[in-house]
Amino acid sequence: MIKKPFFGYATANFRYELLSKAVAPPASLPVPQQAVFLVPDPDDLGPSGFDYQVGTRLKTGQLLRARSGNGPGVYSTVTGTVTDTSVFLGNYGQKFLSLTVQCQQEDQWSEDFSQALEKDRQQALLDFLGAAPGAADLSPFADGQTPIDTLVVLGADPDLLVETNLSVLKSDLNALARGIELIKEVFGPQSVMVVAPGDNLQNVDSHFPARAITVPLDYPAVQPLMIMQKVLKRFPAQDKTIARLGVVFCKAEAVVSAAAALTTGRLPLEKLITVIDKQGNRKLARARMGTPIGDVLRRFGIETGSRDRIIAGGPMAGTAIYSLAQPVTAETDALMVQDRAEIVMSSDYPCINCGDCVRNCPAHVQVNMLVRFLEAGQYQEAADMYELYACVECGLCSYVCPARIPILQYIKLAKFELERSLPAEEDNA
Amino acid sequence: MLSSRQYIVSHAPFWHNGTAVHHRNYNWLLALLPAVAAGLTYFGVPALGVICLAVSSAIFWEWLITTVARRPVTVGDGNAALVGLIFGLLLPATAPWWLVITGTFIAILIGQQVFGGIGGNPFNPAALAWAIIFLSWKTFLDFDSMLVNYSFNFAPYHPLVALKAFGPQAVARIPLGDLFLGKQVGGIGTTCGLALVLGGIWLMARGIVRWEIPLSFLAGVFVSAFIFHVAAPESFSGPLFHIMAGYTLFGAFFLAPEDSSSPVNFLPMLIYGATGGIMTILIRNIGAYPDGVIFAILVINLINPLIDKIRPKRVN
Ligand code: SF4
Ligand code: SF4
């Protein structure tokens, strides 16, 4: 963690540290003894909305979904027996049914995916790819709202320290190319670009099925919202989400997942994870999705104690988790452990108007003003007057704020609340 | 079992550069120490009394007000001490005790707490309190009569008052070096330019005071005083005199850049500072008051939201 320099303004000149150099090949974890799957519960019915009880047998690759068929599903990455079901609350009130599964070592493959593929390739990808490593949300291609003309493949992770997608890009360019071609074939975006910082796209030649876009090494150049503004020059707004602007983002790992699924007919089971220990050392791991996070940390001998922080994702945009029993999911690009001594808690101080956030905001948001409206819950004013939607959600303002205001959290909450209020207004109109 | 361990759950980002409000305030206090030392040197024990009373009463008022209002008690962040110290340094060394505690009460309550405390005040609290005291008990801020019992080894009159009353010839013989070293009649901590510049450089170098504001303030003073002086040297003193005399340096480094009442964007900061400097000279040269710094700062505080865009105050 970089401290403010003794002299000078507080600046946050973070650069994507180029990794690729010396990261050892990923360590593979065995099939876990117990796996946990978080099945979305869009109708908020709890266990009664599902067909899974204690004792239900699951096969590898079996689609797990609410009985109603609503919402996205996940798929089991193991063969085994359900030993526990419970309700799990995610961020922003998302509900899940958590299935704990006692695993057996040999996989019995379910036919769910191959059957789906035979029926409708596009639908199969839509149903399964969101739960495949890299968690691609391709639904905007098919929801019939705005035609999607551009697919952006992230050849590196937006967050600092996370190496997962860059390592995918570096290690298997051919699989990436195959995946891009298949996605083009199935969904037909006019243009596909692959984005990475620095000189990581050197090996991408003119035969590659996507345009190579190099962005600076300065954080947050790889943040999707930053790419929207700086590369695509399309500017999200309250009623214009990324998808409504005709763009879908997808991580390199997800593209490779698609390639694997379509060419072999079998779903990929293992997630590539960057494990960041308390000293900031980085290692790569491959573990089946559903593996408890504790298993991954134990594999690297990382000890955790009370009041430490465990983060799914990177230091700037990850999510803190509260139990080592929580599983690796399709989105877990990194696992980071922070020692309690390193943790700076946010405070309930008001903004003192020091201006450090304004100086550091890559999107030139008037953060000192914005935060006053956000603290007062005046989200609409924040959006109308102070460029809430210009924010690329990099977290640099929170990083430098001496009042330790959780600014990024306020911003995300504001966007979430505004988005929630939007359909209601449309209905009234 | 694993679940017995409690992990810290909070929101991204998980890194912080370690700065804190109290670090900033303690640095301000540190930067004012040279001025305090100079004040004690020139004005002796009475100055010490005023400073101690100002700081302690400001802390007490903030503690009292936050406690009564059932707000979190924030005196530990050093902000009340800072406001008290700045107010105290503006006073003559012989200011009576009731004036000091009334002033800090105004600074803390009207200057800050009614606007929701630190970060909410539209005016510099110490400057506001000074102005209210000045309008109510003018004689106690008349340095010449307040300091009449001192025997100074330098010009024993306030340079700006002399300038206003008798014109530039009256102050032409005061060496600028004397003014810069603090050999002038004035507030406890506002006379010694050297001490103020040292403190100011410290705060700017540490990135705590936004350097754009003091420098543009001084540039505003310099340029406008220069123009007056060139146009009519017999009526108006030169720019360096105006920078060294009165509250100019104290205002530039310690009043104008107060976080909450000043802008944060580059161009607005320059406009804000320069306007303050120009206003100071306008008041001094053609206005009614000998020293215009405090009123100039209150004026730029007032127009700050317009310059830096309007913002709502966080009053519950
Ligand atoms: S407002 Fe904060 S999170 Fe948003 S872009 Fe600016 S610095 Fe990043
Ligand atoms: S939000 Fe934080 S960093 Fe920004 S001006 Fe306010 S106190 Fe400073």
Would B237 be classed as within a structural domain? Answer: yes
Residues B290, B159 share a domain: yes
Residues B175, B121 share a domain: no
* Nearest-by-Cβ selection for B23 from A308, A373, A402: A402
pLDDT over 50 (residue B115)? yes
Ligand 1 neighbour A366 (Cβ under 6 A): no
* Ligand 2 centroid to residue A284 C-alpha, Å: 36
* Ligand 2 centroid to residue B85 C-alpha, Å: 24
* Per-residue confidence (pLDDT) for residue B147, from 0 to 100: 87
Rounded to the nearest angstrom, the minimum Cα separation between A206 and chain B is 38
* Per-residue confidence (pLDDT) for residue A299, from 0 to 100: 92
* ipTM attached to this prediction: 0.89
Among B117, B53, B145, smallest CA distance to B259 is for B117
Q: Using CA atoms, how far apart are residues A324 and B3, in angstroms rounded to an integer?
A: 7
Q: Which of A374, A391, A401, A410 to mutate to test the pocket of ligand 1 (most atoms within 8 A of CB)?
A: A391
Q: Using CA atoms, how far apart are residues A405 and B189, in angstroms rounded to an integer?
A: 34
Q: Using CA atoms, how far apart are residues A194 and A205, in angstroms rounded to an integer?
A: 12
Question: Which pair of tokens denotes residue A344?
Answer: 């700076």
pLDDT over 70 (residue B212)? yes
Q: Which ligand is nearest to the CA of A357?
A: 2
Q: Using CA atoms, how far apart are residues B73 and B93, in angstroms rounded to an integer?
A: 30
* Per-residue confidence (pLDDT) for residue B125, from 0 to 100: 97
pLDDT over 50 (residue B315)? no
Q: Using CA atoms, how far apart are residues B37 and B48, in angstroms rounded to an integer?
A: 10
- The pLDDT tens digits for A36-92 are 999 999 888 888 889 898 989 999 999 999 988 877 889 999 999 999 999 998 877
Residues B207, B119 share a domain: no
Contact call for residues B223 and B243 (beta carbons, < 8 A)? no
Q: Which ligand is nearest to the CA of A397?
A: 1
The pLDDT confidence band at residue B172, using thresholds 50, 70 and 90, is confident
* Per-residue confidence (pLDDT) for residue A44, from 0 to 100: 86
Would B312 be classed as within a structural domain? Answer: no
Q: Which ligand is nearest to the CA of A352?
A: 2
Would B315 be classed as within a structural domain? Answer: no
User: B19 and chain A: CB distance < 8 Å anywhere?
Assistant: yes
Residues B220, B287 share a domain: yes
Would B14 be classed as within a structural domain? Answer: no
The pLDDT confidence band at residue B316, using thresholds 50, 70 and 90, is very low
Q: Which ligand is nearest to the CA of A396?
A: 1
Ligand 2 neighbour A296 (Cβ under 6 A): no
Ligand 1 neighbour A173 (Cβ under 6 A): no
Residues of A in contact with B6 (CB under 8 A): 306-307, 322
Q: Chains A and B: how many Cβ contacts under 8 Å?
A: 170
Mean pLDDT value across residues B84-96:
95
* Per-residue confidence (pLDDT) for residue B152, from 0 to 100: 84
Mean pLDDT value across residues B90-118:
94
What angle in degrees, to the nearest 10, is found between the helix axes of A164-171 and A173-187?
A: 100
Residues B255, B163 share a domain: yes
Question: Which pair of tokens denotes residue A285?
Answer: 């791991």
B12 with A338: Cβ contact below 8 A: no
* Per-residue confidence (pLDDT) for residue A87, from 0 to 100: 92
Residues lower than pLDDT 50 in chain A: 425-429
* Nearest-by-Cβ selection for A399 from B15, B118, B264: B15
Residues B160, B134 share a domain: no
Strand pairing partners for A337? A310
Domain boundaries, chain A: 34-110, 133-264, 270-342, 349-428
Which segments of A386-406 does DSSP mark as H helices, in order? 396-400
* Per-residue confidence (pLDDT) for residue A18, from 0 to 100: 65
A325 with B20: Cβ contact below 8 A: no
* Per-residue confidence (pLDDT) for residue A399, from 0 to 100: 94
Mean pLDDT value across residues B135-139:
91
* Per-residue confidence (pLDDT) for residue A334, from 0 to 100: 94
**Domain that residue B281 falls in:** 154-307
Q: State what percent of residues in chain B have pLDDT above 90.
A: 73
Residues B183, B70 share a domain: no
The pLDDT confidence band at residue B311, using thresholds 50, 70 and 90, is very low
User: B14 and chain A: CB distance < 8 Å anywhere?
Assistant: yes
Ligand 2 neighbour A10 (Cβ under 6 A): no
A323 with B3: Cβ contact below 8 A: yes
- A69 Cβ partners below 8 Å, 6+ apart? none
Question: Which pair of tokens denotes residue B89?
Answer: 């340094």
Residues of B in contact with A321 (CB under 8 A): 7, 9
Ligand 1 atom with minimal separation from the A363 CA: 5
B7 with A320: Cβ contact below 8 A: yes
The amino acid occupying position A357 is: C
pLDDT over 60 (residue B314)? no
Would B288 be classed as within a structural domain? Answer: yes
Q: Using CA atoms, how far apart are residues B298 and B166, in angstroms rounded to an integer?
A: 27
Residues B238, B115 share a domain: no
B133: left (phi over 0), alpha (psi -120 to 50) or beta: alpha
B111, B140, B169 — which closes off a domain? Answer: B140
CATH number, span A270-342 = 3.10.20.90
Contact call for residues B2 and B181 (beta carbons, < 8 A)? no
Ligand 1 atom with minimal separation from the A398 CA: 2
Ligand 1 neighbour A400 (Cβ under 6 A): no
* Per-residue confidence (pLDDT) for residue A22, from 0 to 100: 62
Which of the 8 DSSP states describes residue A260? H
Among A392, A391, A382, A395, smallest CA distance to A344 is for A395
Q: Does domain A133-264 have CATH number 1.10.1750.10?
A: no
Domain count, chain B: 2
Residues B220, B92 share a domain: no
* Per-residue confidence (pLDDT) for residue B297, from 0 to 100: 97
Ligand 2 neighbour A49 (Cβ under 6 A): no
Contact call for residues A198 and A16 (beta carbons, < 8 A)? yes
Q: Using CA atoms, how far apart are residues A7 and A14, in angstroms rounded to an integer?
A: 18
Contact call for residues A129 and A257 (beta carbons, < 8 A)? yes
The pLDDT confidence band at residue B307, using thresholds 50, 70 and 90, is confident
Would B148 be classed as within a structural domain? Answer: no
Residues B55, B169 share a domain: no
Among A389, A406, A388, A387, smallest CA distance to A397 is for A406
Provide DSSP, A295-309: HHHHHTT----TT-E
* Per-residue confidence (pLDDT) for residue B155, from 0 to 100: 83
The amino acid occupying position B69 is: A
Residues B167, B132 share a domain: no
B74, B108, B140 — which closes off a domain? Answer: B140
Question: Which pair of tokens denotes residue B74?
Answer: 């924030």
Residues B293, B193 share a domain: yes
* Ligand 1 centroid to residue A235 C-alpha, Å: 15
* Nearest-by-Cβ selection for B10 from A4, A345, A396: A345
